């Protein structure tokens, strides 16, 4: 299990003093399967770190359809990132798909450390860059690859995950209906 400390240090080095200040802002929190970490409608204020468990981030369309924007597994940050950084109303929901262990901090208190700890702002910069690169990759794959190719990629990248959560969540993450994913699986099995 990767600690928050190791996770951050994996991104960029940090002075011990910066780490102390950061660590002091995170408090443990549990989510039970089905609980929400954030819901749409208000500006996001908190950032979380998943120590264990699975969380889906999804957007809701006008007709009630849901789109699983991301499936988070430990270790990773969760929260309404776009809302946190822009200050706009959050439009994303994040629901625990299993029981989860989190560490949670107030985002504004964290960003308040940037002036005192430029090495922490560097972490934030690199994180934002990594998030961007991941999004760009996903965007290209959504447009350039067939649903079948996306499914195969998913199995490579997140092996086993398809047996831990309902298939319709994976379908939504892949941008297809559950029915279509079922067809794809059938045709692959042959």
Partner DNA sequence: AGCTAATCTTTACATAGGTTAATTTTCTTC
Partner DNA sequence: GAAGAAAATTAACCTATGTAAAGATTAGCT
Q: Which is nearer to DNA, 45 or 98 (CB)?
A: 98
Secondary structure of the chain as H, E, C letters: CCCHHHHHHCCCCCCHHHHHHHHCCCEEEEECCCCEEECCCCECCEEEEEEECEEEEEEECCCCCEEEEEEEECCEEECCHHHHHHCCECCEEEEECCCEEEEEEEHHHHHCCCCCCHHHHHHHHHHHHHHHHHHHHHHHHHHHCCHHHHHHHHHHHCCCHHHCCCHHHHHHHHCCCHHHHHHHHHHHHC
CB of 121 to a second copy, least distance (A): 6
Q: What is the per-residue binding string for DNA in 86-125, x denoting contact by CB under 7 A?
A: ----------------------------------------
CB of 113 to a second copy, least distance (A): 13
Does 89 help bind a second copy (rule: CB under 8 A)? no
**Binding residues for a second copy, how many (CB under 8 A)?**
33
- The only residue of 60, 77, 148, 154 in contact with DNA, by rule CB under 7 A: 148
Q: Which residue in this structure is represented by tokens 């892949």?
A: 174
Q: What is the per-residue binding string for DNA in 151-190, x denoting contact by CB under 7 A?
A: ---------------xxx------xxxxxxxxxxxx----
Binding-site ranges for DNA (CB under 7 A): 65, 146-148, 166-168, 175-186
Binding-site ranges for a second copy (CB under 8 A): 59, 61, 65, 67, 69, 81-82, 85-86, 91, 114, 118, 121-122, 124-126, 128-133, 135-140, 142-144, 175
């Amino acid at each position: 299990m990767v600690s928050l400390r190791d996770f951050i240090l994996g991104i960029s080095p940090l002075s011990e003093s910066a780490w102390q200040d950061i660590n002091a802002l995170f408090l443990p929190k549990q989510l039970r399967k089905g609980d929400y970490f954030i819901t749409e409608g208000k500006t996001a204020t908190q950032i979380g770190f998943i120590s264990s468990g699975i969380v889906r981030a999804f957007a809701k369309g006008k007709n009630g359809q849901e789109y699983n924007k991301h499936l988070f597994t430990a270790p990773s940050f969760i929260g309404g990132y776009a809302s946190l950084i822009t200050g706009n109303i959050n439009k994303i929901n994040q629901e625990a798909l299993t029981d989860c262990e989190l560490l949670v901090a107030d985002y504004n208190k964290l960003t308040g450390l940037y002036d005192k700890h430029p090495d922490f702002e560097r972490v934030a910069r690199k994180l934002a860059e990594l998030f961007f690169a991941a999004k760009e990759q996903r965007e290209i794959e959504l447009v350039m690859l067939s649903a079948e190719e996306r499914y195969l990629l998913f199995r490579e990248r997140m092996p086993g995950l398809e047996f831990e959560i309902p298939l319709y969540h994976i379908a939504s993450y892949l941008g297809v209906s559950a029915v279509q994913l079922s067809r794809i699986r059938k045709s692959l099995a042959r």
